[in-house]
Amino acid sequence: MNRDITEIICHCSRDTAKSDHIDIKAIDRRHRLEQRLSVGYHFLIKRCGTMQAGRPVAQPGLHTRGRNKTSIAICLVGGVDAAGKPQENFTNNQMASLKDLIQQLLALYPSAEVKGHRDYDTKHFCPSMDVGAWWKEQTNGQD
C-alpha cells in the first residue's frame, strides 16, 4: 500500500523518566494495553540513539488523531522529568539519530512537513520541544 505522506510527526514517550531506557517492545505492550492493535509509532529512538522500527510505514499509524493516514510517527524515549513534567531531556545521540531519520524520510517523501504532536493536540506537550523550530535550525532554514 502506498500512502501519501504529508507529515513526519515527532512524539516523546511522555510517561518515561530521563533514567528509563525502554524499547519498542515496551511501547508496543503499553499501546496494546491502551486498546490499540499494536505500537502506534513507525519508529522509536532510544536514549542511546539506536533507532528501532515499530509499525510498518505502509500502515497508517495510531498516534495523532486526524493525521494518521498521511503521516509517519517517530517517538523519542524521554521528554519528562522525574516528576512527570515536560522536559527536553533527549540525548545528543537521540537528536543525531532523529536528524538522520528525518533526512532519510524526506528523501522518500520530499513534500512532507516535520512537526511535533503538540502542533495538533494542545492537551499534550509532546515531544517537549518545538520540532519545527529545531528542524529549521538543523537545516539552516532551508526546509
Residue 41 designated active-site: yes
Catalytic residue among 10, 12, 75, 126: 126
Residue 109 designated active-site: no
Catalytic residue among 31, 46, 63, 117: 117
Residue 85 designated active-site: no
Residue 117 designated active-site: yes
Q: Measured between alpha carbons, how far is 57 from 71 in angstroms, rounded to an integer?
A: 9
Cα-based torsion angle of the residue sequence 65, 120, 47, 109 in order, rounded to the nearest 10 degrees? 80
Catalytic residue among 10, 12, 31, 41: 41
Catalytic residue among 11, 31, 63, 115: 11
Nearest residue to 88 via CA among 133, 56, 58, 122: 133
Q: Measured between alpha carbons, how far is 76 from 72 in angstroms, rounded to an integer?
A: 13
- DSSP codes of every residue in 51-80: EEE-S-TTS--SSSTTTGGGEEEEEES--B
Active site amino acids: 11, 41, 117, 123, 126
